[in-house]
Structure 1
């Protein structure tokens, strides 16, 4: 479908980030229940980051082997994303969220009990399956249940992610200082809390009409959604910039030369900036420059940030500052691109999210292992330079495909 056709299908629901009249805080109880669970779930991602060097030392694993903890996680998540709509349309939103939480809890606890790097890599894949069910469904739940519209709901979702990611490293650093397995058990415990809060606070879904009950998402729907060029453009853009994102996440801990507590504080700063900018700065950027131009500005700055890390890798304070600053850039970009994806194609939002997430997590699966191998084969400067180059490629790709994205900024301007 052409971008012109997309305009007529999307402008009725596409809203600028800053145009909502209903307060962001005026939400149903169910939205807050899912948001709270999102905070706890995303604490799990940040919990692990400060212990990557410790895992390598204590399990006698190389950088590239440890980076496979991200690769298996993201690879399974990318594939599983294609089936989340199929599953949630049968289990329901609440059932799918709870199932995802249970899977995360089980595999994170088993990961804490593992005795070898390859066993841990496999268990992280199981964790990715649970995360796929939870993440894709949580976004759909918040957007569909929110009273303040799509754009504000996405801001709330991104804020929950940022808050969870920022708190996670701090807790992970504390638990990791005791033993590398501590954060894995910490995630399992947090998932129990998330399960109980969601089970108690989120109401049962109302009974559907016979027509709605008969509608089930087809397993092929995400593939069919990819016929819409705008959705594919955003997915491949995210795939490319995720090379830089996961290079930073998976490789930066190895060059910072900090122990678990120090790494926890660095990624705390990163996460706080991510949360703050996703809520307060992204709407202003969209209003001033438009969605696509704002994304390109953020991605250019992120590419330069990674290049600086690649040039001055041995300058600790600069790398720390670059990691923290990257949080601001990624917070803005995540909110902007997620909002754009929700309005990119005339398909159900859960289907659009599944197709987009499949494409973006492919980059997240490949990048960590490539970064580890480049560091081992050449030196610690190369992974960041290559990651920055992929981010710059995402800017070029986005710029070359603007004709397919005109309806996004057109809709946001109304």
Structure 2
């Protein structure tokens, strides 16, 4: 995740250097680059997971790290912009191996400790996205391609570590044939049709996550256009957002839910997001940007609270399906949100401006998505009386969702259980 975060602050400048175009034109291309990466990762994730079940975790992980090295090196050496798309497609496939990494963790961890170990993976991702933009922004002061060389070196160093140190975790006796049925990324959502409450909450979560995932994808272009930010300023402010966001999720969600239950916490988080988006859309003073970033980071309260509600709406034996559905919704939001935000930004900043000049337009759109998500959530809470409805699950497990700018990959806990069940049947 450090490697991904490193390139965010300098991507607009790299695209501008390759195309000779404006910030608006760079945003259009940047949006399609994120789209290419997200779609490829979404499709590839269950495929690589199945390949690791068939051939082992180690070869998939090593191939993934080589793919990331190739991606960053190609972007660093790219003479024309279409090289960036080749790199992003390769990176999408390689990045999907995060699911294989969690499977590796499940292989070497006892069942009672898996949740803790998966939490460590999530913490590492969050820390990487906090550190990555800061490092990338500072390196970008030496040139827009320098962070890509650094990311390539980091990925290749990881490959060498895996090649010489990492053992195989999945014995041949526990491997299973590749299955196209298990490689269907939409299967989890379809399996929850029998739980209408969850489907309504998933729809609310989808719109909210679309807004959240759009923020880091357009923020770099927006701050360059409005404030003339350098790469280091972009990296530092994204790092600030990541730190405060993580603090709200780590220390705010639990106590607030315990004191007020989930519904007020969801409304608080979504209100903070809407206020921040509307404020950023209209600001002209840089000092207010920092205030609104801190307010917007409180949006980190909403998604965990929604997920906590959903986890109580399905029985214990459907918790894995719920996790898969939340991952699928998050992935779709990551595909749609950044592309939509960057295209809207370009539409309102390109010269001549057919719709008027308003670089904050994508943040107004994000605020509208948040308000729609809040309306859907409150409608569901009232219609199904969620405040008084008893839990269906005896042991609810809150699904994970990634912070803005990241794509969440299903953890391997459910795959491991399925694998064990299949072994028992055999």
- TM-score interval for Structure 1 and Structure 2 normalised by the shorter chain: 0.7 to 0.9
Q: 1:47 Cα deviation (Å)?
A: 1.0
- Say whether 1:225 aligns with 2:188: yes
Is 2:344 the counterpart of 1:374?
Answer: yes
Using a 3 Å threshold, how does the CA distance of structure 1 residues 386 and 186 change in structure 2: closer, same or farther? same
1:153-164 to 2 correspondences below 5 Å = 153-164=117-128
Q: Which residue of 1 aligns with 2:66?
A: 102
Q: How far did residue 380 of structure 1 move? A: 0.9
Query: How far apart, CA to CA, are the structure 1 residues paired with 2:82 and 2:163?
Result: 34
Q: Name the structure 1 match of 2:91.
A: 127
CA distance in 1, matches of 2:60, 2:101: 9
Structure with larger Rg = 2
Equivalent residue number for residue 146 of structure 2 = 182
User: 1:50 is matched with which residue?
Assistant: 9
CA distance in 1: counterparts of 2:200 and 2:60, whole angstroms: 28
Query: C-alpha separation between the residues in 1 aligned to 2:32 and 2:147?
Result: 18
How far the C-alpha of 1:73 sits from its partner, in A, is 1.5
Quote the offset at 1:114 in angstroms. Answer: 1.1
- 2:403 corresponding residue in structure 1: none
For residues 130 and 122 of structure 1, the distance between their equivalents in structure 2, rounded to whole angstroms, comes to 12
Report the Cα distance in structure 2 between the residues aligned to 1:141 and 1:295, rounded to whole angstroms: 34
Change in Cα spacing, 1:325 to 1:166, as seen in structure 2 (3 Å) is: farther
Matched residue SS, 1:46: helix
Aligned counterparts, 1:68-107, within 5 A: 68-107=32-71
Name the TM-score, length of structure 2 as normaliser. 0.73
- The Cα of 1:266 is off from its aligned counterpart by 0.9
CA deviation vs aligned residue, 1:62-95 (integer Å, no higher than 9, x gap): 1222232222222222222343432332233444
Q: Is 1:315 the equivalent of 2:285? A: yes
Deviation at 1:124, TM superposition (A): 1.4
Deviation at 1:169, TM superposition (A): 0.9
TM-score (structure 1 length as normaliser): 0.75
- 1:170·1:264 contact (CA, 8 Å) conserved in 2? yes
Report matched runs for 1:339-350 at 5 Å.
346=317, 349=320
Structure 1: gaps (5+ residues): 1-41
Provide the rounded CA distance (Å) in 2 between the counterparts of 1:354 and 1:84: 15
In 1, the alpha carbon distance for the partners of 2:187 and 2:302 equals 26
**Relative to structure 2, which stretch is displaced further, 288-297 or 354-363?**
288-297
Decide which of 100, 106, 111 is 1:137's aligned counterpart.
Answer: 100
Contact 2:201–2:310 (Cα < 8 Å) also in 1? yes
Q: Partner of 1:104: helix, strand, or coil?
A: helix
CA distance in 2 between partners of 1:341 and 1:268 (Å): 30
SS at match of 1:178: coil
Provide, for residues 121-177 of structure 1, a one-character-per-residue CA deviation record: whole Å limited to 9, x for no partner.
34213212211222x334455567377656544543332122100110111012212
Mapped to 1, the partners of 2:103 and 2:266 lie a distance apart of 22
Distance 1:99 1:65, change over 3 A: same
Counterparts of 1:340 and 1:51, CA distance in 2: 39
1:3 counterpart residue number: none
Structure 1: how far apart are the matches of 2:306 and 2:162? 27
Distance 1:175 1:146, change over 3 A: farther
CA contact (8 A) 2:70 2:87 kept: no
Partner residue of 2:271? Answer: 300
Q: Which residue of 1 aligns with 2:75?
A: 111
Alignment of structure 1 residues 141-290 onto 2, 5 Å: 141-142=104-105, 145=109, 149=113, 152-198=116-162, 202-205=166-169, 207=171, 212-214=174-176, 218-219=181-182, 222-226=185-189, 227-229=191-193, 236-256=203-223, 257-290=228-261
**Aligned 8 A contact 1:72 1:124 in 2:** yes
RMSD over equivalenced CA pairs, Å? 3.5
* CA distance in structure 2 between the partners assigned to 1:299 and 1:409 by the alignment: 26
Q: Judging changes above 3 Å, is the alpha-carbon distance between structure 1 residues 324 and 139 closer, same or farther for their aligned structure 2 residues?
A: farther
Q: 1:251/1:352 Cα in 2 relative to 1: closer, same or farther (>3 Å)?
A: same
Structure number with higher relative contact order (C-alpha < 8 Å, ≥ 6 residues apart):
1
Q: Please state whether the residue corresponding to 2:186 is helix, strand or coil.
A: helix
Distance 1:131 1:234 in 2: 28
8 Å contact from structure 1 (residues 142, 157) kept in 2: no
Q: Give the C-alpha shift of residue 203 in structure 1.
A: 4.5
Unaligned runs of 5+ in 2: 349-357, 398-426
Give secondary structure in 1 for the equivalent of 2:252.
helix
Q: Distance in 2 between matches of 1:239 and 1:335?
A: 13
